[in-house]
A and B are shown apart, each in its own frame.
Chain A
Amino acid sequence: MNKKLLLGDEAIALGALHAGIKGVYAYPGTPSTEITEFIQKSPLTAERGIHSSWCTNEKTAMEAALGMSYAGCRAIVCMKHVGLNVAADAFVNSAITGVNGGLIVIVADDPSMHSSQNEQDSRFYGKFSLMPILEPSSQQEAYQMMAYGFELSEREKLPVLLRVTTRMAHSRAAVEVADTAQELQALPFAKDPSSWVLLPANARRQYAALVEKQSALQQLASAYTRLEQDGPEKKLGIIACGIGYNYVKEAEEGAGGYHVLKVSQYPLPKDKIQELAACSTEILVVEDGQPFVEEQVPAMLGAGYVVKGRLTGDLPRTGELTPDSVAAAMGKASKRYFETPKNLVPRPPALCQGCGHRDVYTALNEVVKEYPNARVFADIGCYTLGALPPFRAIDSCVDMGASITMAKGAADAGLFPAIAVIGDSTFTHSGMTGLLDAVNDRANITVVISDNLTTAMTGGQDSAGTNKFEAICLGLGVEPEHVRVVVPLPKNMEEITRTIREEIEYNGVSVIIPRRECIQTLNRKLKQQRKNQ
């Protein structure tokens, strides 16, 4: 064994490598990105030929990983919580087919929306898909859960969902790790090949078997769940899920005073919940994310048993847990000696100086001024920051790819000009199908694919469509004379604004591609070049 200082994401990555994975499949998304990046940089990856290049989106990632499992090898899929919405079709059905080689789906939720559009809790996905769920409380546990999860997956022949939140993904601690990685042979193909063919007759049989498995899965979760009873007398019982356990321990300060049930595996074990209830006066549920456990517990206990948590207001209904909110729910007062001075102002993030998106918005704003009804439907990426001053250039940002399709819908309703702004990586992730809809309907929209040759917001990962955008747009049926490429630089402002004006005036689908490399990746490249000289 040796000790390494690892982010939660890195502990997961190393755990997966040591458990003998043959591949990681992922699309970047905060706070999950570092899992794949760690595997890409590991010497083991090159040594053993482990697949680690980025996928076009979370759905292609999920399906490829399922294929790897079909072929008998261990695989992981990584994504942020909203990525699971994109992968959901494959994810839910993978519980019906079951797996061959072990498969762990790692989803990083982002309560408090540090870098996200919502606070959805992936445990709900695991529950309605009837999949076992793991939720580590520490970096060490995250590392160990990979080997544990793969064994669980292969024994139960099911994919396993491993759910973390931002503070687990992006917090560093020392982790005891193995010295070597397992070397595994591919498992033979599944005995019953029909389980992979989800015709209704097969799917019904598989689904019934999955439902049948649930009590066994609950027993496994029960065996993993630990009740820390503090003496024989009745007192407040706390269900501490995932990293919620750490905040409870922090508030307890080693002094006890509570019965604590540490929950890190689901389906929620009814027997352990009842055991806690029997020795407690009432129950407080401490969970990061939405009230997933809190909603289930009352049905497991007798009527009138008091269950407290986010739904009752004992913990805030929204946002991530903090040591202070948990301490308050446990009846402990926070300390506070100094107040923030009143003259402080927020410092929001901004587009980098010299970024091509800046020039795109400068040009767009100038043209849009001329059309009082113009609306700009934007998308997910650095360029979403165009919503903030000084640009205030966009009217919407909803989900990956929604710029093109919302512009189309608005144009269908008669809005003119309807302009979409989407980044290169977001376009290949979820924009291409929408563009085909627009072409097929001859929608009157102008699409700006602001191409900086990378997936910039998550730190500059490869972008799936680099060097292919004109070909993709032409292939989808956009008229060649309405696929226009410009270089977003202040000196080209006249040409860019003229191009935008012309394409707005064209009645049909036009695509403008302002293309200039992200200055962050460019600077990194130049620095590397200087180093190599």
Chain B
Amino acid sequence: MIVCPNCASRQLDGTIFCAECGAGLIDASPPESTRELDVGTIESHDPLPVSGPLPADDAPAAHTITLVVVSNRRRIEVDLSDEALIGRADPTRGIMPDIDLGPFGGYDAGVSRRHAILSYRDGAYRVEDLGSANGTFVNGRQIEPMCATPVKHGDEIMCGTLLLRLETRNRQR
């Protein structure tokens, strides 16, 4: 039996795509065990309904932001001081993005190894596509590569086809 990493359903050995949720079960290699998870660690699994009301603003200057993977509601918490690379870890090429979307189905969703930069300067958040193969979209609109585009709390950032929601106002710190 294989357990689908996306929906946790049990599938027969040899299954290529999960019969329940359609996730790829052969390319989803486990993340490298030697990787250091100082940023972009997975904090919790399932706390927030995606379509529910957004959390209230009670931590204005916080630099810990959250990217919510919309498809499975997993939360990626990031300590953002200046800028963070969004991508997919590739140890053989020495690419270790600050926000590694590999464990979140990044390969399947067409996330590039170096996909985009998320930055915080002068109180504003920006996302910049690094010429990724499948593009970056903000609220459904594709953004120009190499052009920092302002984003704010609640915006949806899509890398390839992986949809993330930006939460800059954390409920607890």
Q: Check if A and B associate.
A: no
